[in-house]
Chains A and B, each alone.
Chain A
Amino acid sequence: MYKIRSLMIVIGSSSLSGGGWSLLAAMMADPQDDLSPACSEQNSPSFSICSSPSQSLPSTPSSCGPPRPASPPLGVISEGGGELSLVIDAEVAQRACQEVLQKVKLRQVDAAAGPAPGSQHNGPSPDRGIPAIKPLQIREEEGPAPGSVKSARRRQRHNPSKQSWLLRLFESKLFDVSMAISYLHSSKEPGVQAYIGNRLFSFPHDDVDFYLPQLLNMYIHMDEDVGDAIKPYLVHRCRQSISFSLQCAWLLGAYSSDMHISTQRHSRGSKLRKLILSDELKPSGSRARRELTLTPICLAVAPGGPATDHGLSPSKRTHQRSKSDATVSISLSSNLKRTASNPKVESSQDEPVRLAPQREFMKSLMGIGKRLATLPTKEQKTQRLISELSLLNHKLPARVWLPTAAFDHHVVRVPHTQAVVLNSKDKAPYLIYVEVLECENFEMSSVPMRIPENRIRSTRSVENLPDCGMMAEQRAGSFSVVPNYDNDDEAWSVDDIGELQVELPEGHTNSCDNISQFSVDSITSLDSKEPVFIAAGDIRRRLSEQLAQAPTTFRRDPEDPSAVALKEPWEEKVRRIREGSPYGHFPTWRLLSVIVKCGDDLRQELLAFQVLQQLKSIWEQERVPLWIRPYKIVVLSADSGMIEPVVNAVSIHQVKKQSQLSLLDYFLQEHGAPTTENFLSAQRNFVRSCAGYSLICYLLQVKDRHNGNILLDADGHIIHIDFGFILSSSPRNLGFETSAFKLTAEFVEVMGGPDGDMFNYYRMLMLQGLIAARKHMDRVLQIVEIMQQGSQLPCFHGSSTMRGLKERFHMSLTEEQLQLLVDQLVDGSMRSLTTKLYDGFQYLTNGIM
């Protein structure tokens, strides 16, 4: 009643020759209509701009321009599974948007009360997707459509002026995904929803992808109209991209899981998921395209590949990789076949299964996690992990990728010996490093050839062998003794340790020079007979120097295998792994890492990631130098997923346990004396990140803040991880951690004490951050609010979650009051006994320092 009732759109379409489309649409609404909060906020920037008259678009009467056929007669682009034969691009979608508006407008003009734009089931029209070619024709005879409840709403009185405001907003350049999502959620008007559904096509993919959890949650849990509005977009994107398809499928599965089991099976979400996973949403015309693009590659690879790769080794029968052990033991993964490297396999399959390899890859990773969980000790887990991964390696490279990465790539190898099991009491999350080759397009580029593990060395190869009469015919029957061929001579290219040349890192060269010098001397001395003398003291000194020079590493601890792995500087690790990898020589080689979590619900983590990301961009936009590091989350199901690890960071617990130093002393050890540039910048980083995370912890009510959940990176930043307890949930309801955020004396000490400049800087940053966040509060609230829909997550427990969150932004306070508040929070947290109590509690129960 008080919401937007209907949509009247005045469309002016210029003639074909007349250049771009222009349109004028008007939104009809009740006068009392309470617009969505974003627009009612006086200080909201979006409102202020959308109300500026300069943004209004030129409008022309609808009557001008030649009539064109409106290919999709009405409504949104409805697309069922496998109906559409052509790809929709953004341009087409744009047009579809306009057509919807136009229809509505026409109806308005014709004063046809009855017809509804809601007839969603349009048959597949052959000419759909290429409307640009044909002139737009307004087919009025289509007008009277079966009446419905929705159409009835259209008969409301309209308020043209208000409508145009909203329409102008929608048409304005500032109408972004965030707003679209917000309106999609808050508007109960099918027309608006349909319009936004179509507008989605025009946004950059990345922007929409950020809100994918919201979109899908709305699709699952909100009413028909929203679902119908979003579906075409989802289907369209699914057709376009394998990775989007899987992303959708995973999220749909995860967000449907809270529904009752009986309704879940028949829910929209499950249906769409099934549709995606059935792999019917193939890109239309993909076959033709694939043939065009892939065939030449295959042809190029096929002759050269096996020939050089296998050489003389019998290719007749031996290359039945698909029958290998690895296949069987990773079981499931029969689909995880290498494709390009094994042209036979590819050609045997008419159309390679689109989604299967990646799904099998993920399944294998999860399977490993499940199996690890059954093992009692860390050490066994680690060994098992390594051996499982080495089997997985046999199936790589394949058309699989890591969903946490930001670029297109193929996974080529998992350096299995680098994998570590992470600290967890009963689950077995593990961290793996993954070697990938960056590629143009994940789906189109050919999968790299497999290179055997030890190929990095110059192997004994066919070329080096003397011709040893492999031609049976030539030698047939002759018993002549062929001249001796010694298999130990230089026929083999030698790369044993005797000839091994070790390149030393820059830093070492000075001290090592002497030795290499000696080695040279020692050879010459043979002739000259002049003995070379060395001082024992020099040897001893070099030893201690080199040991001191080496970067501080952590001790290997079988109970905490990840500490060493995480402490190693990322750059060094990359270099080391690259050296040891048969794929390391590719210029596109990259190293990624990922944490595989099995048995953990990452939906809350994903929510936290979104909020963090949003706040980060808000702070960036407002130029507040708060520092936070949102890490990517991939939700695979309600109880599994993947996390992008923060590189060059170890937990404060590990720092303290390994170094046995206070945090400040550790800073001094790692970064140098308090006056050095290094230390100061590390301290600045620490303060900025502390401020950022303090605010996050306060706003999101992040709990379970023990030192195992706070990382410290190589530059001095702290990074909070594990958002398992946020908003309304807290661990075990023990009533600990009542403080707003964690601010220990040690933290303050690193910041130079409670009276230092840096600490004041910290307070100031907090205030600035809070003010900036408050300004864009809606962008944060909206993320959380939509996800609350239909969710059973513990963070939404209780009824006051949203209200509490909103209150923590303190919209009503003046900046002076806010300053007071911040001071209060900081002082309170600093004094907080409960933080200390909680740390003590964690130490006692989990051994976390």
Chain B
Amino acid sequence: MIRFHGARKSTILPEWSTENKLLVSVNKSEEAIIDFGTKNLVMSQVEKKAGLLRRTSSSKKPLKEKVVLMYDEIFAVSAPAGGKKWWKEDPAKNNPRFWDELFLMKVNLEYLESKLESVNGEEVQRIQDNINSLFHHCVQALGEEHQIKVVNALQTLCALFRGVHQKNKSASGFDIINMLMGFDKAEQRMKDLMERLDSLLCGDSSESLKSLCLKLLLCLVTVTDNISQNTILEYVMINSIFEAILQILSDPSSRGQHGYDAVVLLALLVNYRKYESVNPYIVKLSIVDDEPTLDGMGVVLHQALTEYNRQYKDKEEENQGGFFSTLTSMVGSMFIADVDEKLSVQTNEAILLALYEAVHLNRNFITVLAQSHPEIDIAVTPSTPTPTTPTTPLGTTPPSLDVMNNPELPLDPNLQTSNLLITFLKYASIVMQDTKDEHRLNSARLCLIILTCIAEDQYANAFLHDDNINFRVSLHRMPMRHRKKPPGKNIPSRPLVCAVLDLMVEFIVTHMMKDFPMDLYLRCVQIIHKLLCYQKKCRIRLHYTWRELWSASPSLYAALINLLKFLLSNETTLLAKHNIFHLALLVVNLFNMFITYGDTFLPTSNSYDELYYEIVRMHQVFDNLYCMVLRVSTNTGQWKEAASKVTHALVNIRAIINHFNPKIESYAAVNHISQLSEEQVLEVVRSHYDTLTLKLQDGLDQFERYSEQPKEAAFFKELVRSISLNVRKNVSLNTLSQDVLLKEFSTIS
């Protein structure tokens, strides 16, 4: 049985095989120790019973735990007594205390699950009543005072849900409900179940019990790959446990222990049939305005992201720590590091999704983004035993529990205060570094979607641009050959929007590659555009070095112009896959924003001159772009329309180039200077503004609002599927190690 389990896991998770072996062996020995006593004790009873019931076979049968025997009884199908009809035996018929005893017994999850999986279609019909009865008794046992019974009932339910789904992958949700609860009673059963879980989660029950409740719920939510096909969740919609989740999040201590699970559960529930029906969790989440609760959610998200950032930083530092450690880590990373990192990104998808849902659905949550917390990534000692946490932050308890529970803000002079937004930006900067892996690409996309939502929100913009909220945000930058790693210490303290812009610039500069992430680029440019629109509307003159955004060199940030350059030089390869004209249009329109509305948001009058200087200096790029779009737009083809839009958008830039270039040349000629200095060019620019006429373009400051549906629906569907798989994997691993819990309660009782 155990061997089977191990084998099964390893097929699903080849990369974990080593660890699974470890886990299996632990399980084996533990089971041996724990069951030794009970087995002996039970044996005589079992034999007696076996003797009574199956006199002939008892001698051959290997020794079985009592609980297994009891399972067998439930699943036993007796031969027809006389007629054609098979009849099932009520396990409680012979033993009125059957159910009481069952829940006092340690659950054998594997056996129960495999049993459920092994019954064939016909048998299912026959034993359905017994399964219903088991389910019913499980639910009832949840109300027991005896906590052992509650624990066992929870685990049994877990196995039931999983087993039934495993067996009936193709079956409709209705069949599964019928099998578990019976159609007629399903409603009542699920109502009872949810109510019991709710009261367990909200009551004073033990923390491990609450944790188990959440695991059960996570298990229930993730039994199907596609959450929307999980019909049982319809009952979870009707009998909401939303309030219980909120309560967990609002209380600091319970948040510390169960916050992670609660947030993930919430994120998943929100995604149940999101687009087809009314999901009460969406509605409820969108109107939460209780600050402690929202803050609690923010803290949980903050902690999870911080933990990831910290792990990344540790690894990075490790890699930089001299030759020897580089060598060892290289050797080491050949085996584990890769897997390790990917996994943590994967598990963080759930957290990102939760953050997205909170930001997207609940406007009050926006304030939480700016809520300051002390930065904990330095405070946490990295000496936590590595094998327990790194692969499964979703596992037992979230990391840095003690820090979360610490009520006083720690008094460490080295401590930087931070907030969720900063942590998120740092996280995004890590994730965006490498988008080759699909999970990372998804995470990066989700990060950009979250930023899009933030960039559209008025309140978020208000604090992003607040001159009084200054932070040093050290973003992670990809090490590149031609640039030095910017010294982390000298980052100026600036309004947060600067960090967002930096992040966007960083992304634009570092992802001009063959496998061009067009989608991400579009989002990036749109985020910049939205921020500019806000600045224009509110007349906020941000002291940001815009030149870095415009210019190619000498600054290492070769952002927008370089992007155009890249698009031009890779026209043919890119056109095969993407509509590069749309991106080009967006980029050109950013320039148009500056040209037309620069007076409303540029910080100095000089910065407007510099804009012209850069355009004139890099005129080649714009000329080439114009040639290209003109060529495409005159040809007939699928890009005709898109390209001609760009030609129109370029009108002012071309006017500037055509206006100033001759002036500068003649200035050089008159003054006999071959190479004009920047100051000289600026001088020419300044003196010739008045003869330049620009055309006002439409809708420069208008943008399409973000809408999840229909554009992003497919993305989220896939994302939720991947999260479900991941959560299921982790939960199943975890529920196995509930022996600790049992021990805890056996000592109580």
Contacts and interface: CB of A to CB of B under 8 A. Distances in A.
A380 B417 CA distance: 8
A418 B656 CA distance: 42
Interface in B405-457: 407-409, 411, 413, 416-417, 419, 456-457
B702 interface: yes
Contacts of A585: none
B361 interface: yes
Chain A interface extent, by class = 35 or more
Given A485-B278, A525-B698, A475 B367 contact: no
Interface string B364-406: 1011000111100000000000000000000000000000000
Interface string B598-610: 1110101100110
Contact of B413 (A312, A374, A523): A374
A132 B533 CA distance: 74
B469 A311 contact: no
Interface in B503-537: 530, 533-534, 537
A80 to B, nearest CB: 40
A761 interface: no
Given A318-B290, A383-B471, A543 B372 contact: no
Interface string B329-372: 00000000000000000000000000000000111101100011
B705 to A, nearest CB: 6
B238 A476 contact: yes
B365 to A, nearest CB: 9
B158 interface: no
A374 B411 contact: yes
A374 B242 CA distance: 42
Given A488-B708, A497-B537, A498-B456, A460 B293 contact: no
A534 B595 CA distance: 11
B672 interface: no
Nearest to A419: B468
Contacts of B287: 311-313, 460-462, 465
Given A417-B463, A498-B702, A454 B363 contact: yes
B246 A314 contact: yes
Interface stretch (B13-21, B79-87, B686-694): B686-694
Nearest to B231: A479
Interface string A303-336: 0000001111110111111011110110100000
Interface in A26-58: none
Interface stretch (A14-22, A261-269, A466-474): A466-474
Contacts of B470: 379, 382-383, 556, 558
Interface in A521-558: 521-523, 525-526, 531-537, 539-540, 542-544, 546-547, 556, 558
B374 A387 contact: yes
B696 interface: yes
Interface in A358-399: 371, 374-376, 379-380, 382-384, 386-388, 390-391, 394
Interface string B288-322: 11111101100100000000000000000000000
Contacts of B702: 498
A321 B372 CA distance: 19
B457 A537 contact: no
Interface stretch (B70-78, B208-216, B247-255, B728-736): B247-255
A734 interface: no
A478 B296 CA distance: 34
Given A318-B250, A543-B602, A488 B707 contact: yes
Interface in A578-616: 580
B466 A498 contact: no
B668 to A, nearest CB: 21
A213 B369 CA distance: 46
Nearest to B187: A477
A533 B696 contact: yes
A48 to B, nearest CB: 58
B292 A324 contact: yes
B698 A526 contact: yes
Nearest to A367: B408
B697 A522 contact: yes
Contacts of A418: 468
B99 interface: no
A531 B693 CA distance: 12
Interface in A231-260: none
A394 B292 contact: yes
B493 interface: yes
Contacts of B469: 386, 417
Contacts of A390: 371-372
Interface residues of B, number: 106
Contacts of A376: 413
B605 A547 contact: yes
A336 B522 CA distance: 49
A310 B290 contact: yes
B607 to A, nearest CB: 9
Given A371-B411, A540-B608, A543-B599, A321 B278 contact: no
A746 interface: no
B695 interface: yes
Contacts of B471: 383
A122 to B, nearest CB: 50
B538 interface: yes
Interface string A488-528: 10000011111010101000100010010011011101100
A329 B608 contact: no
A290 to B, nearest CB: 29
A454 B366 contact: yes
B372 A387 contact: yes
A582 B367 CA distance: 12
Chain B CB count within 10 A is highest, among A391, A496, A535, for A496
A453 B292 CA distance: 12
A84 to B, nearest CB: 42
Nearest to A519: B701
A536 B694 contact: yes
A457 interface: yes
A838 B392 CA distance: 65
Nearest to B535: A497
B703 interface: yes
A459 interface: yes
Contact of B456 (A313, A459, A497): A497
Interface string B563-595: 000000000000000000000000000000001
A580 B409 contact: no
A487 interface: yes
Contacts of A534: 596, 693-696
Contact of A380 (B293, B416, B608, B696): B416
Contact of A452 (B202, B289, B466, B595): B289
A481 interface: yes
A470 B280 contact: yes
B38 interface: no
B22 interface: no
A465 B283 contact: yes
A325 B284 CA distance: 22
B292 A556 contact: no
16 contacts: A313-B289, A320-B247, A323-B251, A374-B411, A386-B468, A390-B371, A394-B291, A418-B468, A459-B289, A460-B362, A461-B287, A518-B696, A531-B695, A534-B693, A537-B691, A565-B468
> Which 6 residue pairs are nearest across A and B when measured between Cβ atoms?
A387-B372, A324-B292, A328-B407, A543-B599, A537-B690, A537-B689
Interface of B: 187, 202, 231, 234, 238-240, 242-244, 246-247, 250-252, 275-278, 280, 282-284, 286-293, 295-296, 299, 361-364, 366-367, 371-374, 407-409, 411, 413, 416-417, 419, 456-459, 461-463, 466-472, 493, 530, 533-534, 537-539, 541, 595-600, 602, 604-605, 608-609, 656, 686, 689-699, 701-703, 705-709
Given A417-B468, A484-B276, A488-B707, 19 more contacts: A310-B289, A313-B287, A314-B246, A317-B244, A318-B247, A320-B247, A325-B292, A328-B407, A417-B466, A453-B291, A454-B367, A479-B231, A482-B277, A482-B278, A485-B278, A495-B458, A534-B596, A539-B595, A544-B605
